[in-house]
Structures are given as structure tokens and as C-alpha cells.
Amino acid sequence: MDSRTARVLRGAAATLVFATAAFHLWWGLPRSIIYLQALESLTGRGLPPDPRPFLFVAMAALLFAGPYLVTRRVVGLRDAYIAGTVVLLASVVAWVFWHTTGHGAFLVDGFSAPSTGGGGHHHDQSTVALVLDHFVVEPVEGIVKIIELSAIAIFVTLLWRDPAIIPEGDRSRADAGEGADS
């Protein structure tokens, strides 16, 4: 991979990371504030608040910090690619987990948080059918997951082929399609 292609892919990855971070902050911040204001009332009734808003805000902060820390040379490219892949993959896995466990039913025995769209209970669906159903019923969620999966694919490609992180001796093999040993 030439350095120009790597720069374009880095820019694309940064754009996708910004988009998913912005979505998670937009969705999570207002809900976090509401839950913080109602925390005592909820816990007093034995109901834990939905953890997603707090996790969304934390994830958005991590994702916003990543490109900043890379441009300030606090974090190297290889570490940033790995961290971005891990954080975005965790988001996808957590999304699947949340929806396959009854929208928070695991938090309180006998409780299931309402779906935000037209979905209902999914007890008889396979995980694949459930995920595909959410892409149709919750198209914004589906778009965000596609953005995250695209960013993961770019990060993995950059990990294998970015000339800025491949040692000089391994670049010719990486360009020939053999990959780097590091």
C-alpha cells in the first residue's frame, strides 16, 4: 500500500469514528443527564438505570480522544488502530448482546426494557435473524453498526498494510500481498 492510499484510509477511518462517536454522544448524553437526575428514585425502587447512556458517553469520549491523541503523538498509529478496532468491535458485540438478552432483562429479574422502535420480543429468533430484524426496524442503529464495521475493516487493513507502521524491510513483502510479520 502506498502512503497516499494509507492517508486516505486513515482519513476515512477518522471520519467513520467521528460519525459513530457523534451518534453515541447525541444518544447517550441527554439520557445520562436524565438518569443522573432520577438515580436516587430509580435505585430506591430497585430499578437500575439503563447503563447504555453512560457507556455511550464513555465510548464517545474514547473515540473522540483517539484521533486527537494520535495527532499529538501521544498514541502511535499501531496502538490507535488496535484500540479503535477493539472499541468498535466491543460496541457491535454489546449491541448484539443487548438485543439478544431482552433489552436489559438481565439487569432486573422479570424486566424487559421497551424497544425504541416497532420491534417486540425476540424469544424465538436466531441471533442472525434478530440482528437483521433490527437493521430493518431500527435503521439508524443499522447504519451506525455498518459505520462501525466499516471502520473496523479499515483499521484491520491499516494494521496489515500501512507503510507508516510496517518496518522498512517488510514493506516489499506487504506490497506483494504477503503481509508483515510484526
Q: What is the pLDDT of residues 7-56, one digit of tens each?
A: 999 999 999 999 999 999 999 999 999 988 888 887 777 667 788 999 99
| CA separation for the pair 48, 41 (Å, rounded) | 10
**The pLDDT of residue 181 is above 50:** no
Looking at residue 180, its pLDDT comes to 44
**Residue 100, pLDDT score:** 81
- For residue 111, the model assigns a pLDDT of 53
| Helix 77-100 vs helix 52-71: crossing angle, to nearest 10 | 170
pLDDT at 129: 84
Amino acid residing at 125: Q
The distance from CA 167 to its chain's CA centroid, rounded to whole angstroms, is: 29
pLDDT digits (tens, 9 = 90+) for 64-121: 999 999 999 999 999 999 999 999 999 999 998 888 877 766 665 555 545 444 444 4
Categorize the per-residue pLDDT at 179 as very low, low, confident or very high, splitting at 50, 70 and 90.
very low
Give me the helix-helix angle, 139-161 and 3-44, nearest 10°.
Answer: 140
Q: What is the DSSP string of the chain?
A: --HHHHHHHHHHHHHHHHHHHHHHHHHHHHHHHHHHHHHHHHHHTT-PPPSHHHHHHHHHHHHHHHHHHHHTTSS-HHHHHHHHHHHHHHHHHHHHHHHHTTTTTTTSTT--PPPSSS----TTS-HHHHHHHHHHHSHHHHHHHHHHHHHHHHHHHHHHH-TTTS-GGGHHHHHTTS----
Give the pLDDT score at 169. 59
Return the amino acid letter for 65.
Answer: A
Q: Could you tell me the pTM of the whole model?
A: 0.79
Instruction: Specify whether the CB–CB gap between 20 and 84 falls below 8 A.
Output: no
Q: Closest Cα to residue 13, out of 151, 156, 148, 164?
A: 151
